[in-house]
Amino acid sequence: MLYLIHGNDTQKARGKLKSLLDLLFVKKPNASFFKLDSDNFNEGKIDELLYSQGLFEQKYIVQLDSLFENKDYSKFLEGKLEDFKKSDHIFIVLEDKINKPVLKKIEKNADKIQEFILKNESTGRSFTTRNGDFNINDFNIFDVATCFGNRNKKDLWVLYQKTKVRNIPTEEVSGILFWQLKVMFQSLNSKNADEAGLKPFVFNKAKLFLKKYSEQELVKISSDLVGIYHNARRGLCDFDLSLEKLILEL
């Protein structure tokens, strides 16, 4: 099965993705979830997820995040569209901008399509903080991971305010931070990218980030982040305020 969620209103598109995933996790509680993006894309992994059967006929839910923006990735994935559609697993394509020929190919095979377009895109939207004025359309949520890695809490805090203006769920920001932590742990005692199971670019960035933290600090931050997530789910703390506190204490 193939879903397509696309458009330059990334806030609404990602919000819809979250709602869809929440629904699928309820319907298929035993399904395994995989997210593939430019940092961890691997053709072999796509084939493994597409053609293999999960344990005890377990189903997979696979998020393909902004992969069609890359020409090489797109060419490979275009050849898999019919198989995505016929698969018992669920593949969800999430894209900001797709060129028309590729979009038509995806639409031809997609079981469900949803598009989210910003109104008055040319004028943009902006907001002001004590750190300056920012255009929301220029915002890239994955800069959160870079600022965290560089231990630049000032810019990280500013980016966190941007996520709140865009109504990006705190859970998504937390997930990005946790992903960066995971990558840093994978790189910590690895000699090269292959050993860490990462792309060279991601591995090299993580190695630079590791110079900013001790292993003990990373363990503590990871533990605190997991604790905040679970306590927020139990209603024991305010997710937003607790994550902001963690950022300011870096």
Classify strands 126-129 and 132-135 as parallel, antiparallel or unpaired.
Answer: antiparallel
| Residue 211 pLDDT exceeds 50 | yes
Q: Which two tokens stand for residue 244?
A: 């902001």
Domains (ranges, CATH) in the chain? Answer: 2-115 (3.40.50.300), 126-248 (1.20.272.10)
55-69: average pLDDT: 83
| Residue 35 pLDDT exceeds 80 | yes
DSSP string, 181-241: HHHHHHHHT-SSHHHHTS-HHHHHHHHHHGGGS-HHHHHHHHHHHHHHHHHHHTTSS-HHH
**% pLDDT > 90, the chain:** 57
219-238: average pLDDT: 93
CA–CA separation, 61 vs 32, rounded Å?
6
Strand-pairing partners, residue 6, are 95, 115
| Residue 130 pLDDT exceeds 70 | no
Q: Which two tokens stand for residue 5?
A: 């969620």
CA–CA separation, 36 vs 97, rounded Å?
17
Question: 15-49: b or e for each residue (b if 16 or more CB lie within 10 Å)?
Answer: bbbeebbeebeeeeeebeebbbeebbbeeeebeeb
pTM of the model: 0.50
